[in-house]
Structure 1
Amino acid sequence: MSRIDVFVAPRPNPALIRAMTSVNRIVMLRGVPGFRDLLPFNRLAGLRGVANVRYIDFPHADLERLKASCGAGKATFLTPNHPEFFTDWMIDKEIVSQVSPLAASWATNGVVNGLGRLMQKFWLANNLIAQIPGNSGAAKEHSVAWALKGHGVLLHPEGGVGWHANIVAPLLPGAVEMGLEALQRGRATDPDFKVWIAPVVWKLAFTRNVEAALAKECAYVEKSLKIVRRANDTLPQRIHHIYATLLARDEATWGMPSDEGASYAGRQKALVGELGRRLGKSISLDAAVTDTTELLRRARRWQRENTGDAEGQKQVRALADTIQRLQRVGPWASANPRITQEEIAEHLKRVRNDYCRSRLRDTMNRFIPQPAGPRCAHIRVPDPLGLHEHAASVDDAVAELHRRMQDTVTSTVAELAASGRFIFYPNPFYRH
């Protein structure tokens, strides 16, 4: 088995973790005052702040609410939302440094184990837990044991990044399942033992108008994907045209008619439906199974069980990958008549991640995406979910966790909009 797929327990080094907290705060987030706004130094990510998060808005009441659910004598699983790659861990690390400095954090095995032995040693010393796809038992066991020691365990219940900060994607049950296991073990010695699922959400907002920088990035995407810009299109219309063109290419690839007069959402739904039908047929699935999530899960299982069918593997993988990619633009994209610069930036990052893959610059963007300008992170803490007082099922607990996170995201966005923090444009994805 490759080293990348072998779980190695973290070996946290408190001194290194403290040092990296300062590095993260200055180099990764805020930048170096005096240099971050001064040419040519502000072109260097480390001086400007790699994630360019200049300010952190973390109300005292929210911080205290989170602190109250962490610490000795309880097990805590911290579950932040996951709107952006790379910046996620930087903000998460800033949060845990204030509430549970020795918290363990889940990360992909490609990061923890896949960058060589020296980097693996570094990440393990930073208390990162490697998520091994299809074999997470050891990681879960370690997480429960670490949480029982009074240190938090942080993991993203949304799974992968979707680049949609206003919407919390459906949650995975891992944090709740581990929490219930911790509760059972804790109650074996202490009948009053408490387990908390502590959600955190954050919303990034630009601190100034960044339309020029977004237009420059849009031009790069258009050039990379060979999409001709239409005259007189606004920036949001250019984004819509990019997606419509990519959708038309997918329709042509799979032999589907393209109705350019229909809405993007309607065309996308029709294509996903047809590809889902073909995928179900390819894996001999009962036609009654129409839920796309279940269909993709069955497809992954089919691939594991039919490794000898090379042609079938190729077909199933292509169908499943296309469906997943298309669905990354969800109904939320067309739900509102207005669109913000932050949402435009998310669309661009999603396109670059999913379609732009030919250059080193594109690879770097996937791992360390660069924002269009300075930002403020608005961090809020919903009420924690006490599994010690929650008698319902795992599914019910996950649904309640999702509700609390989404409600807090929605109220935070409304608060920022009311205070004039966003620049709005007509949304070309929107149809009455």
Structure 2
Amino acid sequence: MSRIDVFVAPKPNPALIRIMTIVNRVVMLHGVPGFRDLLPFNRLAGLRGVANVRHIDFPVDDRQRLKACCGAGKATFIAPNHPEFFTDWMIDKEIVSRASPLAASWATHGVVNGLGRIMQKFWLANNLIAQIPGNSAAAKEHSVAWALKGHGVLLHPEGGVGWHANVVGPLLPGAVEMGFEALKRGRATDQDFKAWIAPVVWKLAFTKNVGPALAQECAYVEKSLKIECRAADTLPERVHHIYATLLSRDEVACGMAPDKQASYAARQELLLLELSRRLGERISIDPGANEIAELLRQSRRWLRDNTGNAEGQKQVRALADMIQRLQRVGPWASANPRITQEEIAEHLKRIRNDYCKGTLRDTINRFVPQPAGQRRAHIRVPEPLGLHAYRGSIEDALAKLHRRMQDTITAIVADVEAGGGFIFYPNPFYHRDA
């Protein structure tokens, strides 16, 4: 088995964690005062702030709400939303530094184990838990044991990054399952032991108009994907044209004639139905009786059980990958008649992650995507869920957490909009039936 797929327990180094908290705050988030606003220094990510999060709006009440869940006699699983890659860990680290400095954080095995032995030791010393796809038992066991010591454990219940900060995706059950297991073990020796799921949400907003920088990034994407730049189009129309062109290419590859008079959402739905039908045939499942999420789950099982079928593996994986890629533009994209520059930025980052590959620049962008300008992070802590006082099912707990997270994100967006913090454009994805 490759080292990348082997779980190694973290060995947290408190001194290193304290140092990296300062490095994260200055180099990764805020930038270096005196250099971050001066040319040419502000062109260097490490001086400007790699994630360019200049301001953090994290009210005292929210900080105290999170801190109150952490500590001795408690097992706390911190569950933030997951709107953006790289910036996620930087903001998450800032959050836990204020509530539970020795909290462990889940991260993809490609980061923890996949960058060589020296970097693996570094990440393990920073208390990162490697998530091994299809084999998470060891990571879960370590997480429960660490939480029982009174330290938090942070993991993203949405799973992968979706690049849709205004919408919380479906939640995975891992945090709740581990919370119940920690509660059972804690109550075995202390009847007053408590277990918490502490949701956290954050929303990034640009501090000024970054239209020119977004247009420059859009031009790079058009050139990289060999898509015509239509000079008369607005920036959102150019982004929509990129997606419509990519959709047409997928339709043609599947033998379907693109209907360019139909909305993007309608065309996407028809293509997903056809791809689901083909994937169902490959793995002998009737897709009409299954949601796409279940079909994809069954396809992953098929891949594990049919490793000797090389051609079948190739075809099933290609179909599943295309379905997942198409689904990343969800109904939220066409739900509102207006679109913000933050949402345009998210579209561009999603396109670059999913389609722009093959160059060093694209590889770096996938791991360390660069924002179009300075941003403010609005961080809030919805009401935590105390599993020690909860009698519902895991599914009901996830629904409750999702509702609290989505309501809080919606409130943040409304507050920022009321304060004039967004720049709006007409949304070319919008259609009334969305």
TM-score bracket relative to the smaller structure: over 0.9
Number of paired residues? 432
Quote the residue 1:57 is aligned against: 57
Quote the residue 2:99 is aligned against: 99
Distance in 2, matches of 1:231 and 1:239, equals 12
Letter in 1 for 2:163: W
Matches within 5 A, 1:6-405: 6-405=6-405
Letter in 2 for 1:207: T
Secondary structure at the residue paired with 2:289?
coil
Distance in 1, matches of 2:270 and 2:249, equals 14
Distance in 2, matches of 1:321 and 1:283, equals 15
Distance in 1, matches of 2:310 and 2:17, equals 46
Letter in 2 for 1:421: G
TM-aligned CA deviation for residue 287 of structure 1: 4.4
Secondary structure at the residue paired with 2:63?
helix
Please list every run of at least 4 consecutive aligned residues from structure 1 whose deviation after the TM superposition is greater than 6 angstroms.
Answer: none
- Contact 2:277/2:286, CA 8 A, preserved across alignment: no
Distance in 1, matches of 2:330 and 2:196, equals 31
TM-aligned CA deviation for residue 414 of structure 1: 0.7
TM-score of the two chains, using structure 1 as the length reference: 0.99
Secondary structure at the residue paired with 2:166?
coil
Q: C-alpha deviations, 1:318-358, integer Å up to 9, x for none?
A: 11000000000000000000000000000000000000002
TM-aligned CA deviation for residue 288 of structure 1: 4.1
Distance in 2, matches of 1:47 and 1:147, equals 35
Distance in 1, matches of 2:231 and 2:15, equals 57
Q: C-alpha deviations, 1:10-65, integer Å up to 9, x for none?
A: 00000000000000000000001111110000010000000000000001111111
Moved more, 365-374 or 187-196: 187-196
Distance in 1, matches of 2:289 and 2:101, equals 45
TM-aligned CA deviation for residue 190 of structure 1: 1.1
TM-aligned CA deviation for residue 417 of structure 1: 0.6
Please report the RMSD computed on the Cα atoms of aligned residues, expressed in angstroms.
0.7
Letter in 2 for 1:331: P
- Contact 2:338/2:425, CA 8 A, preserved across alignment: yes
Secondary structure at the residue paired with 1:196?
strand
- Contact 1:289/1:295, CA 8 A, preserved across alignment: no
Q: C-alpha deviations, 1:168-203, integer Å up to 9, x for none?
A: 010000000000000100111111211000000000
- Contact 1:345/1:372, CA 8 A, preserved across alignment: yes
Distance in 2, matches of 1:356 and 1:288, equals 33
Secondary structure at the residue paired with 1:99?
coil
Letter in 2 for 1:379: I
TM-aligned CA deviation for residue 257 of structure 1: 1.7
Quote the residue 1:3 is aligned against: 3
TM-aligned CA deviation for residue 229 of structure 1: 1.3
Distance in 2, matches of 1:286 and 1:258, equals 26
Q: C-alpha deviations, 1:102-143, integer Å up to 9, x for none?
A: 000000111111111111110010000011111110100000
Quote the residue 1:414 is aligned against: 414
- Unmatched 5+ residue regions in structure 2? none
Distance in 1, matches of 2:288 and 2:266, equals 22
Letter in 1 for 2:73: G
- Unmatched 5+ residue regions in structure 1? none
TM-aligned CA deviation for residue 211 of structure 1: 0.2
Secondary structure at the residue paired with 1:267?
helix
